[in-house]
Structure 1
Amino acid sequence: MHSLSRRTFIQKSSALGLGLSLTNYISFAEAKAEGKRVGIIGLDTSHSIAFVKALNADQPDPVYDGYRAVAAYPYGSKDIESSAKRIPGYIEEVKKMGVEIAGSIKDLLSKVDVVLLETNDGRLHREQAIEVLKAGKRVFIDKPVAASLSDTLAIYQAAEKYKIPIFSASSLRYIKGADAIDKSKVTGADTYSPAALEKTHPDLFWYGIHGVETLFTVMGTGCKSVTRVNTPNTDIVVGLWEDGRTGTFRGTRTGKHDYGGTVYTVNGNKILGPYGGYEPLLVDIIKYFKTGEVPVTPKETIEIYAFMEAADESKRQGGKSVTLESVLSKVKK
């Protein structure tokens, strides 16, 4: 049956109330034919469920252009309890939305065209991402890119080697108000987010990445050095940019958490927030899958992780100023 006539049949079937199973089946068949089969690595995060619900909805938003989640490899964190305990329930949840469970990443890659690497545990990202890149498939890597600056660099080096551009971002890059900021008018910014700790990851790599990425979204690249002030309940990281501007990230560990910030511009102060959900990020992921063009450059992503590594080094040195160049040089050696 020609794709146009299939769509016509779907519309008529839906109107007659003939059920959703055939509709879903045909949609998946079209996704396969058009190279729009999405695979997921890692069912240990709510991000995976949010993306599947959006892509596999009964009537998905046309902006997703027919991309469908068809298969998932669940693992995933095995020793981070808050993540690992989600996996059994999330397996059952995505199966109800038509997603096949693969027994390995190799098995998954044989069934899909593009990949969402959602594993919550950044320690696994290097090995998982490189396997996808070797297969020649585009991959979105959810935060964190990796659990270390060295692994982050290795992933981007592999992307260059296999000539597959990769895209990574926190959904907080799309916080309300950020898209209206003209970076050329920004004189400084303060952002904040939760910064809960996870013993398997460097301090800011686990949760603080959200607010740090918001900071870079409005400030742009060019951070030269950072100084970190650490208290039992809050992290404050002050970054000095090459042009003399200052950007501050505040991460909270206790009390009521929220996301947001203030951007200082030549035209007045702009407020960021509230959080805008996963959909704006997913729109950019689909654009990347379609075109191979990344909305966030490797330079910016690497600088974000160097900023966080330098913040950890500043903490180790009792709050001394640490340059991003110094931590990058150390890792490269």
Structure 2
Amino acid sequence: MRDFPVSLLASPGTQVPLCLMAARHLRYTIALIMALTAMLSPHFLMAENLRIGIVGLDSSHSEQFTLRLNDPANPSHIPGARVVAAYAGGSPDLPESANRVAGFTATLKDKYGVQILGSITEVCAAVDAVMILSVDGRPHLAQVREVLLSGKPFFLDKPVAASLKDIVEIYKAAEAAKVPFFSASAMRWYPGVIEVATAETTPALAAISYGPAPILPFHPDLYFYGIHPAEALFTVMGSGCLEVRRTASAASSVVTGRWEGDRLGTLHAIHALPMGSPNYKLTRFGQKGVVEQKNQGDYTPLLREIIKFFQSRQPPVTRAQTLEIYAFLEAAEQSKSQNGKPISLRDVLRKAGAPEEWLPEAPPAPKS
């Protein structure tokens, strides 16, 4: 194609090839269309200006997550997002909440410049994504329902709720609203846990996970802190737990799950250890040998997963994975009340209102 000179209106007497001018115009038009399309998309979240809101300032997670996002000088700083607004919340009848909410609220406001707002609705209106971090699982269902009205993606901290029924209702509500979310323990991404989980390419024959499980009022006794060693156990064993037996004392509980293929996973929940105890350990029994957890971790890998999720809207942990873990904990509660009787995860999920398509496989009938 031949080049034909044309005059530029902005610069009389200046001439440029017509094809070059057309190419520039085309590139500009394409770039403008792409930018407008991205800005109009509900899934568009710029990596460098992601605004995060927090619901619940009664957990150390509110402080620890915020310092990693808002303090660039912190060695564990995670770029791409910033906490800009929060709703304090709190549970007056739960000391673990009531005694800490004022301190964490002051820290976020005064040290990290977070705007403290008077409602969840106000927080949702000011942000791109939400982290529900209330230490008490009881208000989570009501808090989730308010966040769902905004359509914003959210992370829901442990415990998902204070009952398996509420957990199922949360997933139902989120699915109906078509709003993505996930919940997970930070231990799922501890380097030591991942090292044990990936020690062999074949499934673990068995595993033992132990850790603190202090009992918190108003919650099933393994939900609050027992979720951490339980999630580590499932990170190694994978899905497919069929039934659970539990032996319990005042000091500890031993919960044994039977997986498909007669694989056994054991949770040793130590009730005598306090919150914040670092005494976690995971052991995997595989076809090639035994592998033990050598190191721990912190909140940083989990928070990286949260930010990636907010940007992509693709949860790193599925509904089925999370429901199975809490069904495991619920089955353990029921087994305890029935003197160690084996309890089916399928049965506890059905009783909690889970749809049939959400239920795991039924345990095979006992051999005669």
TM-score (norm 2): 0.79
1:137 and 1:242, CA in 2 relative to 1: closer, same or farther beyond 3 A? same
The answer on whether the counterparts of 1:263 and 1:270 sit within 8 Å (CA) in structure 2 is: yes
For the pair 1:56 / 2:70, whether they are aligned, the reply is yes
Q: Distance in 1 between matches of 2:188 and 2:273?
A: 23
Q: CA deviation at 1:212?
A: 0.6
Match of 2:238 in 1: 220
For the pair 1:184 / 2:208, whether they are aligned, the reply is no
Q: Distance in 2 between matches of 1:267 and 1:42?
A: 45
Amino acid aligned to 2:345: L
The answer on whether the counterparts of 2:192 and 2:296 sit within 8 Å (CA) in structure 1 is: no
Describe the superposition over 1:276-315 as per-residue Cα deviations: whole angstroms up to 9, x where unpaired: 0100100101110110111111100000010011000001
Candidates 100, 117, 120, aligned match of 2:115: 100
The answer on whether the counterparts of 1:176 and 1:273 sit within 8 Å (CA) in structure 2 is: no
Identity of aligned residues (%): 44
Describe the superposition over 1:80-132 as per-residue Cα deviations: whole angstroms up to 9, x where unpaired: 11221111111110012110001010111111110111000101111111211
1:34 and 1:271, CA in 2 relative to 1: closer, same or farther beyond 3 A? same
1:33 and 1:297, CA in 2 relative to 1: closer, same or farther beyond 3 A? closer
Q: Distance in 2 between matches of 1:109 and 1:34?
A: 19
Match of 1:209 in 2: 227
The answer on whether the counterparts of 1:259 and 1:273 sit within 8 Å (CA) in structure 2 is: no
Amino acid aligned to 2:192: G
Match of 1:309 in 2: 330
Q: CA deviation at 1:58?
A: 3.3
Match of 2:8 in 1: none
1:291 and 1:171, CA in 2 relative to 1: closer, same or farther beyond 3 A? same
Match of 2:158 in 1: 143
Q: Distance in 2 between matches of 1:55 and 1:305?
A: 29
* Runs of at least 4 residues off by over 4 Å: 31-35, 60-63
Q: How many residues align?
A: 303
The answer on whether the counterparts of 1:176 and 1:272 sit within 8 Å (CA) in structure 2 is: no
For the pair 1:286 / 2:307, whether they are aligned, the reply is yes
Match of 2:186 in 1: 171
Match of 1:45 in 2: 59
For the pair 1:159 / 2:174, whether they are aligned, the reply is yes
1:54 and 1:33, CA in 2 relative to 1: closer, same or farther beyond 3 A? closer
Candidates 96, 99, 110, aligned match of 1:82: 96
For the pair 1:200 / 2:218, whether they are aligned, the reply is yes
1:56 and 1:42, CA in 2 relative to 1: closer, same or farther beyond 3 A? same
Q: CA deviation at 1:179?
A: 2.0
For the pair 1:132 / 2:147, whether they are aligned, the reply is yes
Q: Which structure has more helix as a fraction of its residues?
A: 1
Match of 1:235 in 2: 253
Amino acid aligned to 1:272: Q
Amino acid aligned to 2:152: K
Match of 1:23 in 2: none
Instruction: Tell me the SS of whatever aligns to 2:285.
Output: strand
Amino acid aligned to 1:297: T
1:184 and 1:134, CA in 2 relative to 1: closer, same or farther beyond 3 A? farther
Q: Distance in 2 between matches of 1:60 and 1:72?
A: 21
Cα RMSD (Å): 1.9
The answer on whether the counterparts of 1:37 and 1:68 sit within 8 Å (CA) in structure 2 is: yes
Q: Distance in 2 between matches of 1:161 and 1:63?
A: 35
Identify unmatched segments of 5+ residues in structure 2: 1-44, 355-368
Greater CA radius of gyration, 1 or 2? 2
Q: Distance in 1 between matches of 2:206 and 2:83?
A: 40
For the pair 1:274 / 2:295, whether they are aligned, the reply is yes
Describe the superposition over 1:54-79 as per-residue Cα deviations: whole angstroms up to 9, x where unpaired: 00003467983420000110112222
Q: Distance in 2 between matches of 1:253 and 1:289?
A: 35
Q: Distance in 2 between matches of 1:315 and 1:144?
A: 20
Amino acid aligned to 1:158: A
Q: Distance in 2 between matches of 1:324 and 1:62?
A: 38
Q: Distance in 2 between matches of 1:169 and 1:300?
A: 10
For the pair 1:250 / 2:268, whether they are aligned, the reply is yes
Q: CA deviation at 1:32?
A: 8.8
Q: Distance in 1 between matches of 2:266 and 2:55?
A: 33
For the pair 1:68 / 2:82, whether they are aligned, the reply is yes
Q: CA deviation at 1:329?
A: 1.5
